[in-house]
Every structure is written in structure tokens, then in C-alpha cells.
Amino acid sequence: MSNEDRVNGNSKQKQLDQFRVDDTDKKMTTNQGLKVSGDEFSLKAGERGPTLMEDFHFREKMTHFDHERIPERVVHARGYAAHGEFKLYESMKQYTKAKFLQEPGVTTPVFVRFSTVAGSRGSGELARDVRGFATKFYTEEGNYDLVGNNMPVFFIQDAIKFPDLIHAVKPEPHNEIPQAATAHDTFWDFVANNQESAHMIMWAMSDRAIPRNFRMMEGFGVHTFRFVNETGNAYFVKFHWKPTLGAHSVVWDEAQKLNGKNPDFHRTDLYESIENGDYPEFELGVQIIEEADEFKFDFDILDPTKLWPEEDVPVKIIGKMTLNRNVDNVFAETEQVAFHPGNVVPGIDFTNDPLLQGRLFSYTDTQLIRLGGPNFHELPINRPVCPFHNNQRDGYGRQTINYGQVSYHNNSLAKNTPKPANEQEGGFAHYQEKVDGNKVRARSDSFKDHFSQAVLFCHSMSNVEKEHIKDAFSFELGMVKSKSVQQQVVDMFANVNLELAQNVAENIGVVPPESGGSVITKTSKALSQENMTKKPDTRKIAVLLADGFDGTFVQAVLAALKENGAHPVVVSEKLGIVKGTDNTEINADETFLTGDSVLFDAAYLAGGINSGKKFKHNAEYFVREAFSHFKPIAASQEGKQWMKEFGMTDSPGIVVDEDMRSFTARFVAAVAAHRHWDREVDER
Ligand code: HDE
């Protein structure tokens, strides 16, 4: 689909087109439209004299520059976004009257921003952190924002604790260290003293906190929302995004190196995938609970530190989102987009989840400072695709020119318009839930079990995932300086898994707890990434080539990889042509300097009869690192000999067959498997 087709079929893109500006081949002007005659020298009193106040072009250019920055988001500052569409598979009429969920096949324009939470705008993207997954649906009934994360639960149960959580996780105030990291005293002190965080911490210490890319992670609305149908019946609902490529992660050593080799690794991946036509896809799923079943669970369904196990409440897949267009300008779109969980449409409503209730205040409030006033809804990226009318007026940066003398309600001069719409006319009517209670500052008793689902999560992990959790705790707490905090955390997690707590305690030199653990044995398959879809598609394969490679063989391997949707990238000593036998010439895309092993999903070591010592040395470093990160490695010709020398031929995920057919088939299967955990490596 060309850009033009996409724009024509997409109401949001049509709207944005009115604001897109192409400056190419144009004369330079001031912001007043005056053509500028010189842009390199300020106006001076004599060639060597002082600059004149009169130089309006200089003043305008410099003033604009001086005001270019706006405050970064207080959380989720580092993010990247793309446009796309959501297409409904199945009508949700039975549960909700939301128009965009009625007719199968109907598409709705979307804008999605992915983010890390703790780091500032320029921080590395491979931090151990939660990822934001915020979607704006531009529906014909107004904007609906599903502002979620890549983990289904949260650290706290009540919004009033959010400033405390964020103060604890951000760099410590006395020295502003560390950036984009939870591995420090204040964060873990918060955890130990706010034990409702236990379940979320298990997620944050798991592989989910270091995703391979934004395209291979799940998304969750986290809170329990409400669906309301045409007849006024309501259902509790949780939202899920399921990536069609499955959810996959990198390993911690790789994540740390990636932050140096390419701190933009995740945005580069998203940008390039969309440019290459590998459009990221996520299916939308809903879990639904009948109102009558509200109290049938062994947890409170309004508690945001609890998930609904998918085996108990199945996820119904109802549509697919495809991200198919990069932004044209990151500031105008990605930075200025303003999400708000309170942006809902008729048919979608809130529950009394105390975390959600507080969010309903915070998001508009934060935009007022971040985007400088109350008219941020008029910024092109934030405008709904349907008209909007009310009596709100004025304020910084107002763009709408509202006609007439009337800007109040009720009125007679404008026939009492704009007029509220009744429900039949599409007016939003808050769900009339009956509430009755005393005003109290309290936590419901039903929110007081902090450990059962942390145990469920822990039990549901594969052995490797459990090891990674143990290592993550040991790293994070190893960075904590306070022995007391370390001890408190270890004692706290004895409630989740005694062995885990004891191992970590030993690793960090505190007293291993003697008792703890849980009698809960329940597991949920859906929680382990090991059980997810695995495909070779869009995987980036480094092909290590030197002059004299086997032309026919290598060409066939490259063709097979491409046929299976993978992307081979040739890495050699120099950029330019690498010459093989049979007159084969292949262009090297990267050198060993620019194409480090951590940037790839797999390696194919071909070498060539003319490989020099240096090539062999670089290739060895490359494959050893890929090996230690459990990546698939294939080798042929010289490469195969070297793999023998390196002692790496007899491990899972290593492919060195002679026969071409089985070689490529095995390699593609090894790539699809993502990582080969049953390999004996000294994992750092
Ligand atoms: Fe947010 N959150 N949050 N949050 N959040 C913001 O809004 C807040 C929470 C999430 O790409 C801020 O526009 C409070 C849960 C995402 O622009 C701010 C509480 C979930 C994004 C804010 C939470 C999220 C934000 C900062 C506890 C997952 C990035 C900038 C009650 C369901 C959106 C902004 C984007 C951003 C407040 C908890 C997701 C300050 C008070 C739970 C994805 O308003």
C-alpha cells in the first residue's frame, strides 16, 4: 500500500495532511512570510561592528530557537510512535455500544506511542523497565485512548502513591544517579516498604522488562474497565494487545551492551520495520466478566496489582492493529501527543479501581504544564476526526475561530446551542453504578493479599525465566548500598519463593531468610514467553562474509532466509563489494565496527578462503558473543572449520550441516526459536 492510498483511506491522515508542510525547493521566509535575503550573517554596523537590534530576522530565528524545548513527560519521557489502523474481526455489540467495535471489517485510525517509564528523554532504550503502550483510536465518536503498559499489573493500588513511587524510581535527588535504572537504594526501599508492589516487581525482574523490540511485546490496559451495551447492561473488561510475532526479550548482558552500541535500538527497529513494510501487528483481546460474577474470584477484580488468569477468563481476540506509517516529525506528533485514560467513547466506561480513578485527574493536568495551556486538544495529532463544539474559549495558542456572540449555556440567542446530546443522539452517559459508603481514607480488605499472584507468576515461569529473575534480583540488589534495604527486600520475597530469596541473599551477602514460601501451586501458561508464537519473520541475521566465500552456497542461504521473512545483513571488514566464487559479488552493509553481534538475532559465519587473520579474530569475537547470548549460529565453509576450533559445534542452535537443504531448514528453525537456552554458557 502506498503512502497515498493509506492517506486516502484514513480520516486521521487526511486531517493531518492539512498541516503537513514540505519546505523543499521553497524560498526562505520569516514567520511573517517575508522572503529573507541572507541567513548566515547578522545585520551589523560595519563588517566588524556590533549587531543591530533592527535585525528582525536574527531576533525571530534566535527567539524561536531559545523557546524550542518543552518539559519532558514526568514519566514515560523516552518514547517513539507510529500511525496505523485498527480493524475489527468480530462485533462486540453484545457487550458494548462503542461504534468502532460494532461492524466487523470497520477500520479506525490509530496512533501508538511506546515508551520507557523512568528514564529521561535521551536515555538508553534497553533499560530494565516497564514499557508504555499507549493507543489513541480516532473514532467517529471522538478519541478513545487505551493508555496501557507491557505488563498487566502495577506497582501500587492507589493513585495517591504514584508521586512516591516515581520519586523513588527516578535518579536520586541529591546526586541525580542513576539514570533510567531501578537498581538503586530508593527504589528498593520503596518496594520493601510498599509490599503491594510484589507482583509487579516479579514482572519487572523478568525478561518482560527487556523486550527485543516494541513489535514483540504484549500490551495491557491494566485496569478493569467497563463495557456498556445498547440496552445499558455492563460487563467488566480487561484489554490485551497480542503481537502476531509473539513476545520476546533480550538477555540482560545484551541489554546493557545495546545501550552503548545503539541507545536508539528500539526506535530504530520500529522505524525501519515500518519503512521496510514489516508492519508491526497486534491483535486486540478482551477478557470479560459478567457483573454478577464480580465477587467470584479469590482476588478483587478492581485491584490493579492482580491479573485475571487467561485460563480462568479467556482472552477473546476481536481485531487487529497494524502500524503502517512513521511520523513525519517527532516533535509535532510523538512529543505533542497527549494521551488520557479518561478519553472514552459511549460504551466504554470506568470502574472504581483507585489507581484508574486517580489517573483520570493526572493526565489532563500534566498536559497543561507540558504543552503550555488548555488548547493542546487542537494540536493536529490530538484533534479528533469528528467535529467538536462547546463553549470553551481562548487560552494560549487558541486556533479555532468560533463564530458569534454566544459562548455560554443556556442561551436563547443561539437557540440554546451547542446543546447536550441525549443517549440516543450519542451523548455519553456515565454508567449509573450504585455507590454507597462513608468517606474514608482506607484500603479495602479485599486488596490486602500482595503475594498470591506474585507466586502464580513465579511458578508459571520456565526454568530459564526463573534463573533470569534470580539474576535480575541479584544485580539490582547488588547495586543497592544499604544492607538494611537489601535484607528487607530479600525477607519480603521469601513470601513469594523461599529458594529465590535465599539464593539472592547469598549472592548479595545478606542473611538468607529461613522461612517463607507459599502453598499456592497454580500456574498460568499464558504468563511465560516460552509458550508464545515463534517465527523467523523480520529477524535480523548477521552474515559474516570475507572474499572467496562459496558463492552458490551463500546465495542459496541468503535466499532461503529472505523467503522465510528474515533479513540477512552482510557484515565484513570493509563496506562495499565482497567477492565470492562463481563470480558472486555481495555488498557488505556493515563492518565489524558498526555491526556488533548484539544488534542481531542470529549469525551466519561463512568467511571465505581469502579471510585474513583479522577477519577471523573479529568473527570469533562476534560469534562468541552471539553464542553467550544464546543466539542461533550457522556456519559453512571456513566458518565451519573455525566453529570447530572455537569448540562451538556441539551446542543447541548451532547449525553446521553439509547438505544445503537441511542446512537452511535447520537454520531457519533455529532462528524462529529465538534463543537456545539449553546451551551451556557462562551467562553474565
Ligand atoms: Fe501513567 N502517566 N500514570 N500509567 N502513563 C503518564 O501522562 C499516572 C499508569 C502510562 O506515551 C503521564 O502524558 C498516574 C498505569 C503511559 O504519552 C502522567 C498513575 C499505566 C504513559 C501519568 C499512572 C500508565 C503514561 C506523564 C497512577 C498503565 C505515556 C505524561 C495512578 C495502565 C503516555 C503524560 C504517552 C504517562 C500519570 C499509572 C501508562 C503524569 C498518576 C497503571 C503509557 O499523567
Residues in the chain: 684
Record: fold of 79-179+207-382: Catalase HpII,  Chain A, domain 1 (2.40.180)
> Is residue 7 very low, low, confident or very high in pLDDT (cuts 50, 70, 90)?
very low
452 touches ligand 1 (CB under 6 Å): no
pLDDT value, residue 682: 59
pLDDT surpassing 80 at residue 3? no
> Is residue 328 very low, low, confident or very high in pLDDT (cuts 50, 70, 90)?
very high
The binding site for heme comprises 73, 113, 162, 359, 363, 370
pLDDT surpassing 50 at residue 5? no
Active site residues: 76, 149
What is the ipTM metric for this complex? Answer: 0.99
pLDDT value, residue 590: 98
Distance 340 CA to ligand 1 centre (A): 8
219 touches ligand 1 (CB under 6 Å): no
**Mean pLDDT, rounded, for 125-144:** 98
Indicate which atom in ligand 1 lies nearest the CA of residue 362. 44
439-472 confidence digits (pLDDT tens):
999 999 999 999 999 999 999 999 999 999 999 9
79 touches ligand 1 (CB under 6 Å): yes
b/e map 524-559, b = 16+ CB within 10 Å: bebbbbbebebbbbbbbbbbbbbbbbbbebbeebbe
200 touches ligand 1 (CB under 6 Å): no
> Is residue 1 very low, low, confident or very high in pLDDT (cuts 50, 70, 90)?
very low
Amino acid letter at 371?
A: L
274-293 confidence digits (pLDDT tens):
999 999 999 999 999 999 99
Q: Provide the pairing of β-strand 107-116 with 131-139.
A: antiparallel
Cβ within 8 Å of residue 153, ≥6 positions away: 199, 200, 203, 222, 304, 305, 306, 307, 453
pLDDT surpassing 50 at residue 4? no
Distance 183 CA to ligand 1 centre (A): 21
- What is the secondary structure of 278-334 as a DSSP string? ---EEEEEEEEEEGGGTT-SSS-TT-TT----TTTSPPEEEEEEEEEEE-S-TIIII
Cα–Cα distance for residue pair 586/590, rounded to 1 Å: 12
Distance 517 CA to ligand 1 centre (A): 33
pLDDT value, residue 6: 45
pLDDT surpassing 80 at residue 360? yes
Cα–Cα distance for residue pair 201/205, rounded to 1 Å: 6
385-434 confidence digits (pLDDT tens):
999 999 999 999 999 999 999 999 999 999 999 999 999 999 999 999 99
Contact 73, 299 (CB under 8 A): no
The binding site comprises 73, 113, 162, 359, 363, 370
250-259 confidence digits (pLDDT tens):
999 999 999 9
510-532 confidence digits (pLDDT tens):
999 999 988 889 999 999 999 99
560-611 confidence digits (pLDDT tens):
999 999 999 999 999 999 999 999 999 999 999 999 999 999 999 998 998 8
241 touches ligand 1 (CB under 6 Å): no
166 touches ligand 1 (CB under 6 Å): no
565 touches ligand 1 (CB under 6 Å): no
Distance 156 CA to ligand 1 centre (A): 13
Distance 321 CA to ligand 1 centre (A): 21
Indicate which atom in ligand 1 lies nearest the CA of residue 304. 42
Ranges of each domain in the chain: 79-179+207-382, 536-672
Indicate which atom in ligand 1 lies nearest the CA of residue 220. 32
pLDDT value, residue 95: 98
132 touches ligand 1 (CB under 6 Å): yes
Distance 598 CA to ligand 1 centre (A): 31
- The residue whose CA is least distant from atom 42 of ligand 1 is 154
pLDDT value, residue 462: 97
Indicate which atom in ligand 1 lies nearest the CA of residue 358. 31
pLDDT value, residue 552: 94
Indicate which atom in ligand 1 lies nearest the CA of residue 221. 32
CATH code at 536-672: 3.40.50.880
pLDDT surpassing 80 at residue 657? no
Q: Fold match between 79-179+207-382 and 536-672?
A: no
Say if residue 418 is preceded by a cis peptide, omega within 30 of 0. Answer: yes
Handedness of CA 182, 188, 194, 197 (dihedral sign): positive
